[in-house]
Chains A and B, each alone.
Chain A
Amino acid sequence: MSGVGTVRVARLVAAKDLRIERRSRVVTNQVLPFAAVTMVLFGFALDANTSVLETVAPGLVWLATMFSLLVLVQRNFSIEDDDGALDSMRVAGVDPRAIYLGKAIGLGVQLAVLEVVLLAAAVVLYGETIRVDGLVLLVTTLICATCGLAAVGTLYGGVAAGYRGRETLLPLLTLPAITPVLIGATRAVEAALGTAGAAVSDGWQWVSLLAVFAVAFGVGGALAFGPLIDE
């Protein structure tokens, strides 16, 4: 299959996933509220101490994103499992790299929406302020981190898909793997928002970590996905 074909198929797969979401509204009605509740619970855990919350808000946003990522990945692969859709695509000769890319793009779009909502929650609940000179860094960080998370989530979702006990396996595989994203994205967002006096220029080295991570796992995932889902 040619490169153009792969991209086209990937777009179709992503569009299919997003169409299913638009019609079923599972992510909108269940995952987003779950993420918001997590943010409220963090507030309880830290005794609603405004100064503490403001300091740790970037980390909490990413932690909530990662918990929601697990739920999103489960959802994204349960729609493939239900009618053996993944197997059908494989039997139909669809390039596994295209499936991987498509699912990752679909997941990435959902994640991006989630992250924006969580950032808004941090502004409202934790008194975080978004400053203009950090905006470019903030958006770049969101994009790079989302790519990395979507790459890892789709990869390990594919490993566990179709097996009993995948609900418990997925967090064990995913959370250690996305630690670099948690660290990098937290520090970069801290720099972008100026939490605890961080300068904007401090953030860019973390963005480079996030970018390297996203590329490494994007390429690794695309190559590994075929053998992984191949039955």
Chain B
Amino acid sequence: MTHLDDTSTATTSSTPGADAERLPSFATTGTRATRFLGIATLVAMGWLVLFGLVLSPADVNQGESVRFFYIHAPTIWVAYNSFVVTAFSSGAYLFTKKHSLGWDRLAGASAEIGVVFVALTLLTGALWGRLTWGIFWQWDARLTTTALLFATYIGYLAVRRLGGSHHQRAKRSAVLGLLSVLLIPLVHWSVLIWRSLHQEATVLDVDGDADIDGIMLFSILVGVVAFSLFYVWFVLHRTRMLAMEDLIEERGLDAALDARRAEGVKAVEGIEASRADETPVGDGGPS
């Protein structure tokens, strides 16, 4: 966060429209910290592949399809957390005095990655369900709520792109980010009683497996670490990228203003020059 605020203030204060075309020298979203994070993410992903595909055994009941869980469980965990981050930074934007756009960009970046992760969760879950239950979709409460959560945050991202000034965007999406927090428990409650009335909650309760194998549990843990690192790494890059996009928009406006102003100056100079030409030199006017 601090880094973000630094860049945004630095960029607005430096080069007031002087060299509008040239991007500043820090036009990369990488720093030493993110490079380190990136390497750590790749290493953790390698570990996840090793544990998920090689070291952990196939499940007694589910067979090889159990390996979907090493993506499925960590991604939804990270996705839920990313939406919490979105809600928190939406609140931070609205209720802090400074109304820093950094909070807004963090909320947006976090929601984007959250949406991608929920998509991954739904995809791996559907594939796993097809292999284990024989069906892609089960109308159970958790699944249905997650699908609606997915749609809600796609809507949130769409609202972020409505246009207007940066602070308009920030305020609008912050309010929506907080409303989504209001919505999710209501959706979950309704779906929960809807399902509980119609059928016994559930078929194959995977998480309820008491004797979950130690190495499987560890593999899921590796997954959580890997995807959390992945999340932090991407959020940092994406937040900085959003800051740059905002900057480009501002610069673009400045550049356009400068160009119009230059045209105006040129036109005025032209008029003055032509007037000077028209005026006879030895007019005999009072000097």
Q: With a CB–CB cut-off of 8 A, which chain A residues contact B152?
A: 176-177
The interface size of chain A toward B, counting residues with CB under 8 Å, comes to: 30
Asked if residues B190 and A230 are in contact (CB atoms below 8 Å), the reply is: no
**Measured between C-beta atoms, what is the minimum distance from A69 to chain B in Å?**
16
B155 at the interface (CB under 8 A from A): yes
Separation of A187 and B197 alpha carbons in the complex (Å):
10
Q: With a CB–CB cut-off of 8 A, which chain B residues contact A228?
A: 171-172, 175
**Measured between C-beta atoms, what is the minimum distance from A202 to chain B in Å?**
8
B72-99 vs A, Cβ < 8 Å mask (1 yes, 0 no): 0000000000000000000000100000
**Measured between C-beta atoms, what is the minimum distance from B248 to chain A in Å?**
21
A-B contact count (CB 8 A): 72
Separation of A206 and B189 alpha carbons in the complex (Å):
11
Q: Which of A169, A220, A227 contacts B158 (CB 8 A)?
A: A169
Q: Which of A165, A169, A209 contacts B190 (CB 8 A)?
A: A209
A216 at the interface (CB under 8 A from B): yes
B120 at the interface (CB under 8 A from A): no
Q: Which of B151, B163, B176, B191 contacts A159 (CB 8 A)?
A: B176
Q: With a CB–CB cut-off of 8 A, which chain A residues contact B159?
A: 159-160, 169, 173
Segment at the B interface, from A23-31, A71-79, A178-186: A178-186
**Measured between C-beta atoms, what is the minimum distance from A159 to chain B in Å?**
6
B50 at the interface (CB under 8 A from A): no
Q: Which residue of B lies closest to A148 (CB)?
A: B186
A194-231 vs B, Cβ < 8 Å mask (1 yes, 0 no): 00000000000110010011001100100010011011
Which of B151, B187, B190 gathers the greatest number of chain A CB atoms within 10 Å?
Answer: B190
Q: With a CB–CB cut-off of 8 A, which chain B residues contact A165?
A: 162
Q: Are A187 and B172 also in contact (CB < 8 A) when A172-B151, A216-B186, A220-B182 are?
A: no
**Measured between C-beta atoms, what is the minimum distance from B186 to chain A in Å?**
5
Which of A163, A177, A184, A216 gathers the greatest number of chain B CB atoms within 10 Å?
Answer: A177
Asked if residues A172 and B158 are in contact (CB atoms below 8 Å), the reply is: yes
- Residues 159-175 of B at the A interface (beta carbon under 8 Å): 159, 162-164, 168, 171-172, 175
A164 at the interface (CB under 8 A from B): yes
Q: Are A180 and B182 also in contact (CB < 8 A) when A159-B176, A224-B175 are?
A: no
B257 at the interface (CB under 8 A from A): no
Asked if residues A184 and B179 are in contact (CB atoms below 8 Å), the reply is: no
B148 at the interface (CB under 8 A from A): yes
- Residues 175-202 of B at the A interface (beta carbon under 8 Å): 175-176, 178-179, 182-183, 186-187, 189-191, 193-194, 197
Separation of A175 and B152 alpha carbons in the complex (Å):
9
Q: With a CB–CB cut-off of 8 A, which chain B residues contact A216?
A: 182, 186
B154 at the interface (CB under 8 A from A): yes
A79-122 vs B, Cβ < 8 Å mask (1 yes, 0 no): 00000000000000000000000000000000000000000000
Separation of A231 and B94 alpha carbons in the complex (Å):
15
Q: Which residue of B lies closest to A170 (CB)?
A: B155
Q: Are A176 and B171 also in contact (CB < 8 A) when A159-B176, A169-B159, A205-B193 are?
A: no
**Measured between C-beta atoms, what is the minimum distance from A20 to chain B in Å?**
26
Q: With a CB–CB cut-off of 8 A, which chain B residues contact A213?
A: 186, 190
Q: Which residue of B lies closest to A182 (CB)?
A: B190
Q: Are A180 and B189 also in contact (CB < 8 A) when A159-B172, A216-B182, A224-B179 are?
A: yes
Asked if residues B154 and A172 are in contact (CB atoms below 8 Å), the reply is: yes
Q: Are A163 and B163 also in contact (CB < 8 A) when A179-B148, A180-B190, A183-B190 are?
A: yes
Residue contacts A-B, CB under 8 angstroms, 26 given: A163-B162, A165-B162, A169-B155, A169-B162, A172-B151, A173-B158, A173-B159, A176-B152, A176-B155, A180-B187, A180-B190, A187-B197, A205-B193, A206-B193, A209-B186, A209-B189, A209-B190, A212-B186, A213-B186, A216-B182, A217-B182, A224-B175, A227-B171, A227-B172, A227-B175, A228-B175
**17 other A-B residue contacts (CB within 8 Å) besides A169-B155, A216-B186:** A164-B163, A169-B158, A172-B151, A172-B158, A173-B155, A173-B158, A176-B183, A177-B183, A179-B191, A180-B186, A187-B197, A224-B179, A227-B171, A227-B172, A228-B172, A231-B164, A231-B168
